[in-house]
């Protein structure tokens, strides 16, 4: 739910960069990766940091609202917290990996469907 906030902030931060700075680094012999790591990321760092902070606050708000309203909350943030508190890191990591696998499967299916429709 909160992930797009990071993407939007990072896109805006990278969009504000002056391309001449990266071009100057490239003419001085920097590789594209080095140009990204030494020029683009430090300059866009505050925007990316703001997106991460907004995303974290959004996720925290979602957790709080769900845990207060629902008697047996079953959203992912609350379930991960309950699993971590009750059974420790091993169960919480297994739950997170299962949700990651389901997300990867959903993305793969969506990609296949879009490719067949195109």
Instruction: Note the pLDDT of residue 24.
Output: 94
Does the pLDDT value for residue 55 go beyond 80?
yes
Q: What residue spans define the domains of the chain?
A: 1-69, 71-118
Separation between Cα atoms, residue 116 and residue 111, nearest integer Å:
9
Mean pLDDT of 72-96: 81
pLDDT of residue 59: 77
pLDDT band at 67 (very low <50, low <70, confident <90, very high): low
Mean pLDDT for the chain overall: 84
- Given a contact cutoff of 8 angstroms between Cβ atoms, the answer to whether 92 and 84 are in contact is yes
Mean pLDDT throughout 26-55? 91
Q: CB within 8 A of 26, min separation 6: which ones?
A: 32, 35
**Total-model pTM:** 0.55
């Amino acid at each position: 739910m909160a992930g797009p906030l990071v993407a939007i902030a990072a896109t805006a931060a990278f969009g504000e960069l002056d391309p001449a700075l990266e071009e100057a680094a490239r003419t001085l012999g920097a590789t594209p990766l080095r140009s990204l790591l030494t020029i683009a990321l430090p300059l866009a760092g505050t925007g990316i940091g703001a997106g991460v902070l907004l995303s974290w606050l959004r996720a925290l708000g979602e957790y709080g609202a769900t845990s207060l309203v629902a008697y047996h909350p079953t959203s992912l943030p609350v379930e991960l917290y309950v699993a971590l508190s009750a059974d420790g890191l091993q169960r919480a990591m297994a739950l997170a990996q299962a949700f990651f696998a389901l997300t990867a499967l959903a993305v793969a299916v969506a990609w296949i469907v879009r490719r067949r429709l195109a």
